[in-house]
Structure 1
């Protein structure tokens, strides 16, 4: 079992020393021990009561954490469902984007065809222009020939040419020439009409093809616009789902943060229970030792009384002179609990944060900033009631000072050099300044508590420092 020294043990030792020095034990000594034992029992009962309340708080916190986990599971399911919807939406968007890409390629192909057709139309226009010029020239030639034929009597002139032959050979020559002219006139007319029809057909063909291409281009543009609208709808849906996802993630983060806070509180409750348990052990052992010391002092007092009685009887046969028993007993004197300067500064350096209210809560102590690794000293002599690692305080040491009935706390240490139950003297180095636990920068957090440590018994340290 660990060696635990309490203020009662110290008081007993002081009383024992007084008894040995004065060679006398009074009933007051035993009565004093009775008072101390009763006081210890009351403090133990209070600690047991506080431990019970902490157990209830821990149970309540665990129930809240269980509900919180159920909420987290529900949110996780919702997030998984949203992820599935997002995946489907993204796949649809990719498919639509592929369709849009194909449509764009088709539009580019049609645009190229239209460009080629326009070039062909330009060439046809040039051909039509040439044909029109030839037709105009031919029409002019035909008009001239018609006027000539009309002015010369029409077709009878061909007969006169034939009948005016001088010989058979001349007849044959004239007949051939007339037929050639007539054939040429017929070819000219046929060519003329054919070229006119060709011009008209080409014009119609160009117009029809242009209409077809423009119509197809219009349809493709409409399809592209429709796909763009669908893409916008899908993107809007994706944005909506992403917002939902963000909202759920935020909710999940809040739930996790709440869970972490409760987990810290649960750990803090466990630490408080441990601290109270340590102090209860100190009190229990102090009570046991005080009871043993009470019995020893009682027996010693009875022995001294018998010896005094015997000595008195023996001295009655003499001249009557004797020594009187002392009328007072020795005792331990304690300093006033409200005295100024009962504690020394536990570390050097300036005060970086005082005692009192803060934006994020109440600061039950003061902060000193001597620099990382600076030595930390016991503010007064006492016994270590806790030396451990805390989730919030990091490396932390509690010391109870029986002579003042107060406790001090030294938190966020980088190291600890004392252990539970160890007696320490004023100014003894117990650790070093650090940045452990819930700390933002190297400093020493120092607390003073009225009586044994309690999680809501912190008081302003300044009135007790020099």
Structure 2
């Protein structure tokens, strides 16, 4: 290699080295912000976990509440059915009492007849007593004056005897009927009262069960209110954390701008020194009358925009709308699938503005670039390893991490984004990476 060529390469290397290590003074500040943001992200994740736990408790409590309400509804049905039976038996009791009232007249009539007969029998007994203690129907017959008088006396005696017999028979029958009627209605009423008592006991038991279920329902409703209040407080805390996170995101954005400005100045200085080196080399070559040698440097294929493909593997998902099975979403990146640990390379030279965990991104690296005066940010998500730190200068093609499956991911792959300008949480300036890395 000619002396002037060696001098040119040495000068170019010095310029590149200088441009790489220039912004390290700002790394500590950005690193502190990143740590603060990671702490807030952790707090948000913890709050999300607690909110989800409260949600689960509310759902579980609601399930218990629904079971209790169903049990109460079932008990209400049983109570209504039992009350219907009680009402039915009470109606029978009322009807039996009506029947008893109707029988009272018959019973009173029987009792009157029995009393009259008893009085008649008493009168006959007193008459017998006054006549000497007995009535001799033979003397009546023998006292007849004629045969016709005898027949009349015999007929009268038979009538009296039969009347006494009839009185005694009716008396016995009426007393038996009275006893039967009283026993029948009393037994019927006793059975109905017993049945009513059983039903009343059943209703009291159901009412007691319902009271317990009502108390439990009140307790569960109170618990539901308590859980909802606690969840609301956690959501307020989460909202505050989100606001803090937004504030930190602005701070990080400010640091990104500062890094981008440093990168821009470094690029301008690098270009100026490269131009000066080329001019000096051309002058040297002209003085020595030797043709200028072409300096070659091995590099990964790059697009006209200055980016290279960040990983080897199969392109699985592009930029724009896509169906993820649970509905459509807007995919703001370019996915490359390969085995876990596949090397991830910086798509262009720049400075690491984030290296760590970030929600659905999982482990993610964000690099700030300035290419031809335009600032960019590239994002490398779902990594299983990170080989760089915040504020570090990286060169194009440098190994910055390994492909993984962290965060919201369905398999080992790299989710790669390109943003015109600085990266922001809304990713409002994301562009299709395929247009920059050649598909």
1:193 pairs, out of 154, 160, 172, with 172
Residue in structure 2 matched with residue 262 of structure 1 by the alignment: 241
Query: Could you list the runs of 5+ residues in structure 2 that have no partner in the other structure?
Result: 1-21, 273-439
2:90 pairs, out of 101, 107, 111, with 111
Alpha-carbon distance in 2 for matches of 1:202, 1:182:
30
Deviations 1:91-130 (A, max 9, x none): 2212211111111111111211221222222233332222
Give the 3 Å change call, closer, same or farther, for CA 138–156 of structure 1 in structure 2.
closer
2:228 pairs, out of 243, 249, 258, with 249
Deviations 1:399-437 (A, max 9, x none): xxxxxxxxxxxxxxxxxxxxxxxxxxxxxxxxxxxxxxx
Residue in structure 2 matched with residue 131 of structure 1 by the alignment: 110
Query: Could you list the runs of 5+ residues in structure 1 that have no partner in the other structure?
Result: 1-41, 294-466
Query: Do the aligned residues in 1 keep the contact of 2:117 with 2:171 (CA within 8 Å)?
Result: yes
1:67 pairs, out of 35, 46, 49, with 46
Offset of 1:239 from its aligned partner?
1.4
2:58 pairs, out of 66, 79, 102, with 79
Q: What TM-score comes out, normalization by structure 1 length?
A: 0.48
Alpha-carbon distance in 1 for matches of 2:82, 2:271:
100
Say if 2:127 is the partner of 1:148.
Answer: yes
* 3-state DSSP of counterpart to 2:151: helix
Offset of 1:149 from its aligned partner?
3.1
Query: Do the aligned residues in 1 keep the contact of 2:128 with 2:135 (CA within 8 Å)?
Result: no
Offset of 1:279 from its aligned partner?
5.6
* 3-state DSSP of counterpart to 2:201: helix
Larger Rg: 1
How large is the RMSD of aligned CA atoms in angstroms? 3.2
Alpha-carbon distance in 1 for matches of 2:135, 2:224:
103
Q: Which moved more, 1:104-113 or 1:267-276?
A: 267-276
Q: What TM-score comes out, normalization by structure 2 length?
A: 0.51
* 3-state DSSP of counterpart to 1:165: coil
* 3-state DSSP of counterpart to 1:194: helix
Query: Do the aligned residues in 1 keep the contact of 2:44 with 2:238 (CA within 8 Å)?
Result: yes
Residue in structure 1 matched with residue 219 of structure 2 by the alignment: 240
Deviations 1:183-211 (A, max 9, x none): 11111112112222333333333333333
Say if 2:190 is the partner of 1:211.
Answer: yes
Deviations 1:435-462 (A, max 9, x none): xxxxxxxxxxxxxxxxxxxxxxxxxxxx
Offset of 1:155 from its aligned partner?
5.7
Alpha-carbon distance in 1 for matches of 2:135, 2:97:
52
Offset of 1:262 from its aligned partner?
1.5
Residue in structure 2 matched with residue 55 of structure 1 by the alignment: 34
Alpha-carbon distance in 1 for matches of 2:270, 2:74:
88
1:122 pairs, out of 74, 82, 101, with 101
Residue in structure 1 matched with residue 137 of structure 2 by the alignment: 158
Deviations 1:205-260 (A, max 9, x none): 33333333333322222221111111111111111222222222222222222222
Give the 3 Å change call, closer, same or farther, for CA 156–286 of structure 1 in structure 2.
closer
Offset of 1:182 from its aligned partner?
0.8
Alpha-carbon distance in 2 for matches of 1:46, 1:238:
64
Query: Do the aligned residues in 1 keep the contact of 2:72 with 2:213 (CA within 8 Å)?
Result: yes
Give matches, 1:34-433, under 5 Å. Answer: 49-153=28-132, 156-278=135-257, 281=260
Offset of 1:181 from its aligned partner?
1.6
Alpha-carbon distance in 2 for matches of 1:175, 1:154:
22
Offset of 1:289 from its aligned partner?
8.6
* 3-state DSSP of counterpart to 2:144: coil
Give the 3 Å change call, closer, same or farther, for CA 119–129 of structure 1 in structure 2.
same
Alpha-carbon distance in 2 for matches of 1:261, 1:222:
58
